[in-house]
Chain A
């Protein structure tokens, strides 16, 4: 059974860098023909796609966040990570990692990691 689990700090100061990791079990980031990505949801609001990568193909980012976002992969641990620089209060959100299957349907999600940006 595929499982994704986010981990990282729950509190980040304004202007600093948010870093989260998604641990994947039950599938291989390297060999699976899927995209793996990040989606966030501010409290009480809707979903916002951050970006996604395929190990042998492209990496895509939301144009509105592209200048501040990097998604990277640690193949030895079957994990991928999110870095969001220069955070502001509006970056406060639940951050989900998810697998994107054919047609960009997100069929598996992590439980989410709430990140609050505050001094």
Chain B
């Protein structure tokens, strides 16, 4: 079965750029979306179809997908960006989530 792999944690200083990666076989051939989840809240879609942002999502969040890796990039990271981030794709009639990455803004 298809798997998506994410690092468990990423740390970034305020104002710096955070890159959260999501790896899978030929992931670049599939659409990837990203969710942000803060403690005690439901996940929120922040990126879909690799790089598109839903309305209301800040421009500092961006996405890319090529080869075996999709990347969520947060530029000028702020304390409000501290959260868990999950990537997701679709393969063989199944929705697949990555294990999640905890972003810490130090």
Give A contacts to B, CB under 8 Å. 37, 39, 46-49, 52, 60, 62-63, 96, 100-101, 103-107, 109-112
Is the Cβ of B100 less than 8 Å from the Cβ of A46? yes
Other-chain residue from A37, A104, A106 in contact with B43 (beta carbon distance below 8 A)? A106
Is the Cβ of A112 less than 8 Å from the Cβ of B42? yes
Interface of A, secondary structure class, is: strand
Q: Could you name 20 residue pairs across A and B whose Cβ atoms are closer than 8 Å?
A: A46-B98, A46-B99, A47-B43, A47-B86, A47-B100, A49-B95, A60-B93, A60-B94, A60-B95, A62-B95, A63-B1, A63-B94, A103-B48, A103-B49, A104-B33, A105-B49, A105-B88, A106-B43, A106-B45, A111-B42
**B 24-35 to A, binary, CB cutoff 8 A, 1 in contact else 0:** 000000010101
Leading 9 A-B pairs by shortest Cβ distance: A49-B95, A105-B48, A109-B42, A47-B97, A104-B90, A46-B100, A105-B33, A103-B31, A46-B99
Q: How far is the CB of B42 from chain A (nearest CB, A)?
A: 4
Q: Which residue of A lies closest to B48 (CB)?
A: A105
What chain B residues lie within 8 Å of A107 (beta carbons)?
45, 48, 54
Would you call B10 an interface residue if the criterion is a C-beta within 8 Å of the partner chain's C-beta atoms? no
The answer for the CA separation of A100 and B97 in the assembled complex, in Å, is 14
Q: How far is the CB of B99 from chain A (nearest CB, A)?
A: 5
Q: Which residue of B lies closest to A47 (CB)?
A: B97
The answer for the CA separation of A96 and B86 in the assembled complex, in Å, is 15
Would you call B96 an interface residue if the criterion is a C-beta within 8 Å of the partner chain's C-beta atoms? yes
Q: How far is the CB of B3 from chain A (nearest CB, A)?
A: 12
What chain B residues lie within 8 Å of A46 (beta carbons)?
86, 97-100
Is the Cβ of A110 less than 8 Å from the Cβ of B33? no
Is the Cβ of A109 less than 8 Å from the Cβ of B43? yes
**B 65-93 to A, binary, CB cutoff 8 A, 1 in contact else 0:** 00000000000000000000010111001
Is the Cβ of B88 less than 8 Å from the Cβ of A104? yes
Q: Which residue of B lies closest to A106 (CB)?
A: B45
What chain B residues lie within 8 Å of A111 (beta carbons)?
42
